[in-house]
Amino acid sequence: MSKTILLFPGQGAQYVGMGQTLASTFEPAKKIMQEADEILGFSLSKLMAEGPEDVLKSTDNTQPALFTVSAMVMEILKAEGFEFDYVAGHSLGEYSAIYAAGGFSFADGLRLVRTRGELMASAGSKNPGAMAAIMGQEENKILELCEAVKDAGVVVPANINCPGQIVVSGAQEGVAKLVENCAAAGIKAIPLAVSGAFHSPLMQFAQPGLAEAIAKTTFNDVAKPVIANVIAEPVTSGKEIADLLVRQLVSPVRWNDCMNKAISLGVTQGVEVGSGKVLMGLMRKISRDVKVTPVETIEAFQALKA
């Protein structure tokens, strides 16, 4: 029997104006937006609506903004009685996936991602890092490239997104050297505009604070399994989900493996919940047998219901 997975995007999917039409059209989305403002103690809704873009792009704001938009879409899907079998989220998106599966409340999830964003921003300023996307190479080759620059600084695979797209993360000097080596070898490498070396050992500064925040949060067992970034396996235990989130901060996002695991479990349909179409694009490179529909607009909701 065909299965459906909900997919939740991570950082990079944000833009000024996101979520505005949803909030003005759907009552469940409006309620979530209002709740976010109350919980955070500042107008996230105004920042999302008006920017400025550089403030929205700051990781401590981006994370709660993206989590909120995904929650808004999720509440609309719930109100429509939409059925699904699995959830998965890319990096930050894993928090949205856990919320969608019933792993924690919106308020708890929002506080967690705000804290995570603040801790990651602080770790990024204390220990500046960089990230770069390497195209057209297998993971073994990426590991060789990382090993070759270790004298310049630690660099590790951070996002194994799809065949031929792996993001590396680490010390600025190490990533710069790796990009230079790629250019010399005719390998396409794209430096990314990020505020830290996410999913690398440089994020260890943020780990104790995140572990403390997670320990104070109530995690529920979930009926709809979360296919976890770190292990690319379906998880339903609240305790295991919490433990994996602490590890996720300094571990690679094994997105390609997560999607292949979903396919092996019978998934043939996906819905990208929230901002953008990045995960739809990645799925096209992983498998043409899974159709992913992004839902962020009123038209998309109507098409999904049809």
Residue of 199, 200, 251, 275 marked active site:
199
Return the CATH fold of 3-124+202-305.
Malonyl-Coenzyme A Acyl Carrier Protein; domain 2 (3.40.366)
The C-alpha atoms of residue 25 and residue 84 are separated, in whole angstroms, by 24
Residue of 45, 70, 90, 91 marked active site:
91
Task: Provide the whole-model pTM.
Answer: 0.96
**Structure tokens belonging to residue 194:** 């990020």
The C-alpha atoms of residue 95 and residue 90 are separated, in whole angstroms, by 9
Domain edges within the chain: 3-124+202-305, 129-195
**Superfamily classification of domain 129-195:** Malonyl-CoA ACP transacylase, ACP-binding (3.30.70.250)
| Alpha-carbon distances, residue 137 vs 38, 159, 176, 186, 304 (angstroms) | 46, 13, 18, 11, 35
Per-residue pLDDT of the chain in tens (306 residues, 90 and over written 9): 789 999 999 988 788 999 998 999 999 999 999 999 999 999 999 999 999 999 999 999 999 999 999 999 999 999 989 999 999 999 999 999 999 999 999 999 999 999 999 999 999 999 899 999 999 999 999 999 999 999 999 999 999 999 999 999 999 999 999 999 999 999 999 999 888 999 999 999 999 999 999 999 999 999 999 999 999 999 999 999 999 999 999 999 999 999 999 999 999 999 999 888 999 999 999 999 999 999 877 777 777 766
Could you confirm whether 91 is annotated as catalytic? Answer: yes
